[in-house]
Amino acid sequence: METLPCTSMESAIGPLFLAASGRGLVALEFDVRLPGQQSIRPNPRHLREEKKGFTFEDSAKVMLPYVNEIIEYFARKRREFSFPLDLRGTEFQLACWRALLAIPYGETRSYADIARAVGKPNAFRAVGMANNRNPIAIVVPCHRVIASDGGLCGYGGGLEVKRKLLELEGAVSGMLAA
C-alpha cells in the first residue's frame, strides 16, 4: 500500500485536491467530481471502480511547494510548473500527456493535433479518452485541447472551468469567447 501526502486548496475555479509521491505530483483533481470522472481517491459508492493501493495522509507542509505554484498560476505569475510529475498510465496515455505538456501557455491544440503529435493521426477519440484519464489537471494542460472547429468540448471540470482556464491564459478567441 502506497501512502501519498495530500492536501486540498481553494482556487479561482473551486476546490482542488492534490497528492504526491516521492517522485512528484500524482494527482491534481477538481474536488467535485462529475459522473464518470476518474479519480485517484476512493468514492464509497464506487469502491470497486476506484484505483487500489493508495492511502492518503493529509500533509499541507509536504504539499506546500505544489500549492504555491498553483496559487502563482491562478495569480498569472506562473506560466510553467517546475515541480516533478509522477505520471502513471498506459504507454499511449503517457504519450498523450507528454504531448499536452508541450502545448505552450496561452495556446490551444485540437484533438487531431495531439493524435498527430503521438504518431496516431486517426486516434483523436482515443486522445480524448486519454485526456479524460489525465490525473493531473491544469498542470498537464488538457484544458488547452479544443475541437477542430475551435469550440470547447469535453472537460473533467466542466466546460465553464475549461473556459475560465483558457481565459486566464489568454487563449480565448472566436468560438471560445461565445
pLDDT at 177 over 50: no
pLDDT top residue among 33 and 115: 115
Strand partners, 9: 16
Contact status, residue 29 vs residue 5, Cβ threshold 8 Å: no
CA dist 137 and 144 (Å) reads 11
CA 169 remoteness from chain centre:
15
DSSP H helical ranges for 75-117: 91-101, 111-117
pLDDT, tens digit (0-9, with 9 covering 90-100), for 44-56: 333 333 455 778 8
pLDDT, tens digit (0-9, with 9 covering 90-100), for 77-118: 999 999 999 999 999 999 999 999 999 999 999 999 999 999
pLDDT at 146 over 80: yes
CA dist 148 and 51 (Å) reads 32
Predicted local distance difference test score (pLDDT) of residue 124 = 86
Annotation marks residue 6 as catalytic:
no
- Catalytic residue from among 6, 96, 142, 153: 142
pTM comes to: 0.85
Domains and CATH numbers, the chain: 2-74 (no CATH), 91-177 (1.10.10.10)
